[in-house]
Amino acid sequence: MKSPFYQFKQGFKDGTEDDKVYQELGSKFVDNTLGLIFAPFIVWGAWNICIPALFGLPPIGYVYSLALYCLFKILR
């Protein structure tokens, strides 16, 4: 929050603009965090269903699927 002196100079704004910015920032943070936690499960399942049957490669665990997900996010 801003100091009372700053608010006095600005005419005592109610701060709704700040609240909207913080709400959008919080929403982006929660979306990215949940995506980072749950999206690798989709990669993990897709890999373990398709790739071992098609190409004979070994199944992967959550950590490898997290690494693949991060690689996908970087390359996108």
Tens of pLDDT along the chain (76 residues)?
Answer: 556 555 555 555 565 677 788 889 999 999 999 999 999 999 999 999 999 999 999 999 999 999 999 999 999 8
> Which are the contacts of 62, defined by CB distance < 8 A and separation ≥ 6?
40, 41, 44
| pLDDT of res. 76 | 87
Planar angle of CA 34, 19, 3, nearest 5 degrees = 125
Reported pTM: 0.65
Total length of the chain: 76
